[in-house]
Chains A and B, each alone.
Chain A
């Protein structure tokens, strides 16, 4: 595919909203996973998470609007504003009918929904806020961003579990190349630290129950891993075609040069054990980018921290890269702040972009005792200097969703 430029980034994460703070925390592997104290979660099998702090300090959303929206929309609005400013976009001079919004989200706005459902059962129909209808569903942030900025162009929200936002970025980039938009906001948001959402995540069996060691519970590719810790957050990119970037005279963080997705068709939760379909997605994405296995300098892994998921991801990388698999550094930086489900792809892309910019690979933390079946170079515990020209980001979702994006340093 023709390259699509990333010209702005905005993030809201448990490791920081300020980009420098986020990068420092991720690079030094400072885990921010802790026990959930927002509500009594003590009876949940897994009750640890990455929590966003300081959101109000970065928010210009009115208190009137905050009553109508869920936390996931609020985080999306804050990340969007940061990204728009970062890209030096003056929306008053843009044709907003040709601006688009491509968002990814997995579970919707349950903090809002749970409160209203409680009121439904306690007070009856009239106890439910009329804003419920527009607050909870996965495309709500797309709508709020659209209203806030007056954006009216071709837009879409993708729901594909933990691959949602990576898929939104990939499809958004492809859409730009078809000439439907001048520029787009692409990314995702997730707010799963609520009683019902946490329950659903727990019943999936994907979460670590190691509550007493919250900061070391999420340990991708380690022999003693037992799942991931959830997190809340949002990540937004500004994507533009290169013809426009030249005329605007703005800097490019990185280019999106390849994208592919496949599905396993095997199990409703677990990924296929053979990794064949993920390997096919990697090869398709490399082919889309016009690259060969030796061209890849870094892999930002899905690293879900499950027995089957980590082994099958390792198998897929070996199948796709053959002899080169052992020479490519791989890491799962998200173990520092937790797995943001539908938003994790956007944060993985931003982390990879920052790794390219700083020529440093953030580590996979808590990897002390590697699984013999996970025998690649996962950059354990310490960051590593490396000039990254080309990188891939892998995200996978329940139901066997595989998604791969290829990034190139400009």
Chain B
């Protein structure tokens, strides 16, 4: 499973949405109406599933899904 697929799966489980609802280039706030507590849960999910710890500044409502994927991928490479 690619990193994108794994993160998508975390979003799907945390937000109880279908993957098609994720608009990769729209902000999380505008596309998913995400709240700050949901962001914390997604952050915990990413750490659990991918072993990547994101700082608060790296996971924000104003980020797009694709921006988050890039951050996770770059941190995953550094970890490896």
On A, residues with C-beta under 8 Å from B are 62-64, 67-68, 126, 129-131, 133-134
Contacts and interface: CB of A to CB of B under 8 A. Distances in A.
Interface stretch (B40-48, B55-63, B69-77): B40-48
A130 B41 contact: yes
Q: Is chain A's binding surface mostly helix, strand, loop or mixed?
A: loop
19 contacts: A62-B16, A63-B16, A64-B15, A64-B16, A64-B17, A67-B16, A68-B37, A126-B44, A126-B47, A126-B48, A129-B41, A130-B37, A130-B40, A130-B41, A130-B44, A131-B37, A131-B41, A133-B37, A134-B37
A231 B47 CA distance: 40
A150 B16 CA distance: 23
Interface in B16-58: 16-17, 37, 40-41, 44, 47-48
Nearest to A65: B16
A124 B47 CA distance: 14
Contacts of A67: 16
Nearest to A68: B37
Interface of B: 15-17, 37, 40-41, 44, 47-48
A313 B15 CA distance: 50
Nearest to B39: A130
A68 B44 CA distance: 15
Nearest to B47: A126
A130 B34 CA distance: 14
A134 B41 CA distance: 13
A71 B50 CA distance: 32
Contacts of A131: 37, 41
| Smallest CB-CB A-B distances: 5 pairs | A130-B40, A64-B16, A130-B37, A63-B16, A130-B41
A151 B25 CA distance: 32
Contacts of B15: 64
Nearest to B14: A67
B50 to A, nearest CB: 14
Given A131-B37, A134-B37, 12 more contacts: A63-B16, A64-B15, A64-B17, A67-B16, A126-B44, A126-B47, A126-B48, A130-B37, A130-B40, A130-B44, A131-B41, A133-B37
A129 B13 CA distance: 13
A393 B37 CA distance: 41
Contacts of A129: 41
A133 B41 CA distance: 12
A63 B15 CA distance: 9
Contacts of B47: 126
Nearest to A125: B44
A148 to B, nearest CB: 13
Nearest to A64: B16
Contacts of B17: 64
Nearest to B48: A126
A131 B16 CA distance: 14
Nearest to A63: B16
Nearest to A132: B37
Contacts of A133: 37
Contacts of B48: 126
B71 to A, nearest CB: 20
Nearest to B35: A68
A129 B43 CA distance: 11
B46 to A, nearest CB: 12
A346 B17 CA distance: 36
A129 B47 CA distance: 14
Nearest to A66: B16
Contacts of B41: 129-131
A131 B48 CA distance: 18
A67 B48 CA distance: 19
A62 B16 CA distance: 9
A32 B16 CA distance: 34
A64 B40 CA distance: 15
Contacts of A126: 44, 47-48
Contacts of A62: 16
A64 B37 CA distance: 13
Contacts of B37: 68, 130-131, 133-134
A131 B42 CA distance: 12
Contacts of A64: 15-17
Instruction: Choose among B15, B44, B47 the residue with the greatest number of A CB atoms under 10 Å from its CB.
Output: B44
A67 B37 CA distance: 12
A243 B16 CA distance: 45
